Amino acid sequence: MPAPSELKNSLRFFKVTSYVTGVFLLLISVLYAMRLTISADVWIAGPQGLVALAQFYVDPSTGDRYGFPTEGFSFTVISLIVHGWLYVVYLYANFRLWVQLRWGIGKFLIIAMGGIVPFLSFFTERYYSKVAEGWSDRKDAA
Q: Tell me how crowded residue 11 is: count the other CB atoms within 10 A of its CB.
A: 21
- Distance between CA atoms of 89 and 98, rounded to whole angstroms? 14
DSSP three-state, residue 74: strand
- pLDDT for 2 equals 64
Q: Can you tell me the mean pLDDT for 70-92? A: 92
- Residue 141's pLDDT is 47
pLDDT tens for residues 98-128?
A: 999 888 999 999 999 988 999 999 999 999 8
Give yes or no for residue 138 having a pLDDT over 70: no
Show Cβ contacts of residue 102 under 8 Å, excluding neighbours closer than 6 positions: none
b/e per residue, 84-115, with b = 16+ CB within 10 A? Answer: eebbeebbebbebbbebbebeeebbebbbebb
Write the single-letter amino acid at 105: I
Q: Please tell me the pTM assigned to this model.
A: 0.82
pLDDT value, residue 1: 56
Encode pLDDT of 7-39 as tens digits.
Answer: 889 999 999 999 999 999 999 999 999 988 988
Enclosing H/E stretch for 44: strand 40-46
Q: Where are the alpha helices (DSSP H) in 4-119?
A: 4-38, 75-101, 105-113
Q: How confident is the model at residue 52 (pLDDT cuts 50, 70, 90)?
A: confident
